[in-house]
Amino acid sequence: MHRRRFRNAPRQPFEVGTAVSIPIMKRQVSIAALLALLREQNSFVLSSHLRPDGDAIGSALGLMHLLEAMGKRVSVVFVDPIPANFDFLAGRERISRTFLPADAAIFLECDSIERSCIDREEFEASPPRMTINIDHHRSGREFADFNWIDPEAAAVGCMIYDLAVAAGIAISPAMADCLYAAVLTDTGSFNYPSTTAATFAMAEHLVRCGTDPHRIAAEVYFSNSASKVRLLGVALSNIQIAGPVSWSHITLEEMERVGASIEDCEGVANHLIGIEGVEAAVFLRETPEQDQFRLSLRSRRTLDVSVIAERFGGGGHRTASGCSMAGTLAEVTSRIVEDLRQACIPVADTGESVEAPTLPSILLA
Ligand code: 5GP
């Protein structure tokens, strides 16, 4: 019997229940080992991080379709609301907000069980026999019983695609839509440095499997609520630029004024890094907790903002990361802008800058 405490757990950590009888407890598993594990379980509960984005939703629903094609029972749990521009994905209506018992819990694109915001009591009332972590973040952590972390993957959706191919499962149009939406959004519409020939080969295969790129783009990028566009207008008018750093913020009062929700803030940071000469950018969103801000950090390729995000307990990718910070708007802004400015100095010295994706391809995603 194997019981393992999750790392990074606050006060009373979650615990998993009775472990599987598989002798290997390697922290990193191969696709083949993961497939063998999946085949031995009957039921799964899938989840991802709070404030889910396209890769979180698309990879979770894509994996749901894959596991169901393998004859498994699957539920998908997201505690936070799903942005309306992903409502069209098949299986969206089955997403639950409460944790459901299963043989295995799979966390996608998420560096801890805590970050999924799954209710601790619900989880502990019927703990899964094993936890599995599938992630592509540079800051990804081996918190689960079985971990598959590939920072080279352009999206977790690409890893689920590889899993489907390895499993020999025919990719249905529904699964193709989910995986295409995941990779489209997490590569900034095939703009980010993670985009390779393999990414395009996968996208081409998904189109042949039945996905319609025009329809997905129309749903994801051209179905924004008026409040989201108005919020972008406010955020853009708040932009400040000092040398290689740009920043902007949105207060609760401003959000309320344009009738915007938290999900409407998704993607604003991408506009800040699209400014000529800017190497690093940060978008600050005031949260309902007093003197607390959510930060979205962006950079061009030479600067690794995940290192800065990790300093404040966050994480993410080299060019896109996030974290929370406490303080007034002025305090938080001056602290993060100074950190970004310092981080930019070596970039300025080498002069090695790589073009960031610019509008219109990233649009509001
Ligand atoms: P965004 O700025 O769009 O919220 O997030 C950019 C990237 O950083 C995403 O891949 C997101 O998952 C990751 N990220 C954002 N906030 C956090 C955080 O607090 N912790 C970790 N580990 N990753 C984060």
- Quick one: CA dihedral 317, 155, 268, 93, positive or negative? negative
Cα gap 333→311, rounded to integer Å: 15
* pLDDT for the residue numbered 312: 96
- Which residues of the chain register pLDDT less than 70? 1-27, 347-365
* pLDDT for the residue numbered 62: 98
28: DSSP letter = B
* pLDDT for the residue numbered 270: 93
Q: Pocket of ligand 1, candidates 49, 143, 149, 299: which has the most ligand atoms within 8 Å of its Cβ, to mutate?
A: 49
Q: Which two tokens stand for residue 200?
A: 């395009």
Q: How many CB atoms lie within 10 A of CB 307?
A: 16
* pLDDT for the residue numbered 276: 93
One-letter-per-residue 3-state SS of 121-157: HHHHHCCCCEEEEEECCCCCCCCCCEEEECCCCCCHH
Which ligand 1 atom lies nearest to the CA of residue 306?
A: 8
Give distance in angstroms: CA of 113 to centre of ligand 1.
15
Give distance in angstroms: CA of 270 to centre of ligand 1.
13
Give distance in angstroms: CA of 21 to centre of ligand 1.
35
What residues does each domain of the chain span? 31-220, 228-350
Angle at 190 between CA 184 and CA 194, to 5 degrees: 105
C-beta 49 within 6 A of ligand 1: yes
Residue nearest to atom 2 of ligand 1 (CA): 296
Amino acid identity, residue 2? Answer: H
pLDDT, tens only, 168-198 = 999 999 999 999 999 999 999 998 889 999 9
C-beta 111 within 6 A of ligand 1: yes
Q: Domain spanning 228-350: which CATH class is it, in words? A: alpha beta
- Say whether the peptide bond before residue 360 is cis (omega within 30 degrees of 0): yes
Give distance in angstroms: CA of 323 to centre of ligand 1.
7
* pLDDT for the residue numbered 120: 85
pTM of this structure: 0.85
* pLDDT for the residue numbered 352: 53
Cα gap 349→342, rounded to integer Å: 12
Fold of the domain spanning 31-220: inorganic pyrophosphatase (n-terminal core) (3.90.1640)
pLDDT, tens only, 74-94 = 999 999 999 999 999 999 999
Give distance in angstroms: CA of 109 to centre of ligand 1.
10
Which ligand 1 atom lies nearest to the CA of residue 324?
A: 19
Q: Pocket of ligand 1, candidates 321, 336, 362: which has the most ligand atoms within 8 Å of its Cβ, to mutate?
A: 321
* pLDDT for the residue numbered 2: 30
Q: Are 135 and 111 in contact (CB under 8 A)?
A: yes
Give the sheet arrangement for strand 130-135, strand by strand. Answer: 95-96, 73-77, 43-47, 104-108, 130-135, 146-149
Helix (H/G/I), strand (E/B), else coil: 270: helix
Closest Cα to residue 2, out of 123, 120, 144?
Answer: 144
* pLDDT for the residue numbered 346: 77
